[in-house]
A and B are shown apart, each in its own frame.
Chain A
């Protein structure tokens, strides 16, 4: 039977009942749009989180006290100390580099400005572990750590707000009243969304951890970063650190996490979330399909006379089956296409509002289209087969 003729018939039929067709398609439109939006946002969110995680440094391991090690009180949490760093450096075979990270709320002051910042005390391997690129000047030397020199490596935003000059290396500022000399500037970074904590950014102020310990008099720390020799031994390195800390502080006092594990977990969580929400959106598609079936059944009844006429002028059962099936398919596919447009528009809007990367995948569009095709097929078959089985005499007599 003539496909083109059937398409034309279907379009004419739908156009003749514009409002009804539109309302019928609404279910499919909403379902498809929801699927597109959910999948795109899921992928976008995942990309953002993973991007930030990977920006932390490759083969990264981080260690922090377990919440329950201090029996619920932050003050009594078990902390790590310089001895742990030395032990890990000396004993762990798979650990390439290790560094503490200590944070301190402080005030940075120059002639130009006074600024509340979070200063970060770091170890000598920190640059390597966290991929800190120095734009100008230098990173800290062995000597700086040994002496606890009051020197700082600062981000570009901090440099801009504290100093007028572009050449800030050698300039001094006051951190909680103590004079520090800028020895380096961190290369400008594209800022993430700050989903991942402890990120290095353009507003960072790094100082040797020994200098910070001297300032605060607190020699313990809550966070330790390390890098494994290679990605294959990340888990081994994490195990080594865990064992060393267990020997020194007792078992299960610290949480040792690797980036790989975290990425796996994040991927798993976002995939499950996306699948669950997409499943709910799929129910909207199902409801849309039922709407199509409903309207097609009405249409078959309304057009009983037409069916009788067509039978009289030579239509076979298959001809009528195709005519009504194609009409249902046209309905669901147009709905699907409109749904893709609506969904893409919503995604565009949301990515602008939420500053997410736009991630409408071809596969989600194909998924949505094939889903609406299948829906049209499944819910179109019954009405179409009903049309094809009408008795010509009764159909002709129908008014």
Chain B
């Protein structure tokens, strides 16, 4: 599903060159649940941006769903995001003026889904995360946990093959965190590939595979027993 070979990312800010990723070789198969950990500045966010087709590697090759992403144009990248990827952010990143339903409908607009089908799919996605009763609430009328579940519904409404989450529980209490992580686990059991960037042990415990970053390099890549309920 995901294959990076010799991927490096260098940011140049004037005179100083910052090497965010250094010669990463990484392969993630369909259906894996991967946690990416490491201190801040270790390159894990850069990795997520590249895997998420938001950024391009400086050198190296990235193949997603059998397509070489590394040389794609911006619009081709947008199509990859629309067709294969779902994002969950630490700060939810919902559109504040819109109801939960319309927030979840947004990705479908860019995927060219008809109005009626959009409504249907978005309602289903919200039902999936247990918010069938909250369709017409706006983000400021919902709790943090509920907002993150709306964001999850938005990420999965396009039926993405890969779900990318950057500190998805960073702004949540422990109960909400568990609820959100349970949904990730369920989705993974249904075959969705999941990548979670986290520094919380609790969260990493849900993953089958934990990759640890340090200074732009992978320092460990461990398969672990999945925590069961």
Interface residues of A (CB under 8 A from B): 1-2, 4-5, 12-13, 16, 305-306, 308-319, 392-393, 396
Contact = CB atoms under 8 A, between A and B. Distances in A.
Interface residues of B, number: 26
Given A16-B97, A393-B49, A313 B87 contact: yes
B54 interface: yes
Contacts of A311: 54, 78, 81
Given A315-B78, A316-B78, A393-B55, A309 B158 contact: no
Given A316-B110, A319-B110, A396-B54, A309 B75 contact: no
B52 interface: yes
Contacts of B87: 312-313
A268 B194 CA distance: 76
27 contacts: A1-B109, A2-B115, A4-B115, A5-B109, A5-B115, A12-B97, A306-B95, A308-B93, A309-B95, A311-B81, A312-B81, A313-B87, A313-B106, A313-B107, A314-B83, A314-B107, A314-B110, A314-B158, A315-B110, A316-B75, A316-B78, A317-B74, A317-B78, A392-B54, A392-B55, A393-B55, A396-B89
A313 B74 contact: no
Contacts of A12: 97-98
A87 B132 CA distance: 103
Given A305-B93, A396-B54, A313 B75 contact: no
A377 B44 CA distance: 42
Interface in B51-96: 52, 54-55, 74-75, 78-79, 81-83, 87, 89, 93-95
A317 B109 CA distance: 14
Nearest to B166: A396
Given A2-B109, A305-B93, A312-B87, 6 more contacts: A2-B115, A306-B95, A308-B93, A312-B54, A312-B93, A314-B82
Contacts of B83: 314
A13 B79 CA distance: 26
Given A2-B109, A16-B97, A393-B49, A313 B54 contact: no
Nearest to A315: B110
A315 B111 CA distance: 9
Given A392-B54, A396-B54, A314 B81 contact: yes
A393 B54 contact: yes
Contacts of A318: 75
A242 B97 CA distance: 80
A1 B49 CA distance: 26
B54 to A, nearest CB: 5
B209 interface: no
A313 B82 contact: yes
Given A12-B97, A317-B75, A396-B89, A312 B52 contact: yes
B212 interface: no
Given A12-B97, A393-B49, A310 B106 contact: yes
Nearest to B76: A316
Contacts of A313: 81-82, 87, 106-107, 110, 154
A317 B107 CA distance: 14
Nearest to B110: A314
Contacts of B79: 314, 316
A187 B110 CA distance: 74
Closest 10 CB pairs of A and B: A314-B82, A314-B110, A313-B107, A316-B78, A392-B54, A316-B75, A309-B93, A312-B87, A314-B81, A315-B110
A164 B57 CA distance: 105
Contacts of A4: 115
A207 B94 CA distance: 90
Contacts of B93: 305, 308-309, 312, 396
B109 to A, nearest CB: 5
Residue among B78, B89, B95 with max Cβ neighbours from chain A (10 Å): B78
Interface string B133-161: 00000000000000000000010001000
Contacts of B109: 1-2, 5
Contacts of B75: 316-318
A254 B116 CA distance: 82
Nearest to A308: B93
A350 to B, nearest CB: 42
A150 B192 CA distance: 113
Contacts of B81: 311-314
A319 B112 CA distance: 11
B190 to A, nearest CB: 21
B30 to A, nearest CB: 21
Contacts of A1: 109-110
A1 B81 CA distance: 17
A4 B115 CA distance: 10
A16 B52 CA distance: 32
Contacts of B107: 313-314
A55 B124 CA distance: 76
A312 B94 CA distance: 12
Contacts of B115: 2, 4-5
Interface in B194-226: none
Contacts of A314: 78-79, 81-83, 107, 110-111, 158
A319 B78 CA distance: 10
A16 B97 CA distance: 8
